[in-house]
Amino acid sequence: MNKIKIQDQAKQLRIYRKIHRFSASFLFLFFLFIAISGILLGWKKNSNGILLAETQIGTSTDLKQWISLDSLQTLAIQAHKEIHFEEGIIERMEVRPDKGIIKFSFENSYLGLQIDGATGAILSTETRRSDFIEQIHDGSIVDKALGWSSGSFKVFYTSLMGLGLLVFTITGYWLWAGPRKIKRKISH
């Protein structure tokens, strides 16, 4: 009777090994992209401005001395037009009153601007490499390339990768624990 249970457990281990191997073969490149992009994103604020520009300091942290947001927005759009020769659509405005600046990023380019809230001076112009890396990391770069605003691929991709990681964790655990369990039964 004990021999039958050991054979069943060995059969289960072979099934887990096949699932683990198949999943690894299928998802290898995707996990490689996620791992490398995840490492880069973890280091973006410590990259000395390579992945993400250092946050500049404006002339005033007193919001009463700042130019209006719509004027700062107009300055950002104008700067985008001078750099890219087309009007940009602002995707995000990050107001940093503690630094005296506002950061702008644009929808169809990786341009990032940091503008002094009080004077309207452009303090920093950058290529936001971290945004590109983030889009690789979460799969939204495919949605962007295909012009899908719904984010369908991103949802599919992140679900597939999450389920893949879950399968690797479960099968990996059994590939580690299963042989130990069999050895204990054999030795008893």
What ranges do the domains of the chain cover?
2-45+135-187, 53-127
What is the pLDDT averaged over residues 38-42? 96
pLDDT-derived band of residue 3, with 50, 70 and 90 as boundaries?
low
d(CA 131, CA 85): 21
pLDDT at residue number 25: 84
Say which CATH class 53-127 falls into.
Answer: alpha beta
Condensed to tens digits (0 to 9), the pLDDT of residues 83-130 reads 988 888 999 999 999 999 999 999 888 999 999 999 999 999 999 999
pLDDT at 182 over 80: no
Query: The pTM is what?
Result: 0.77
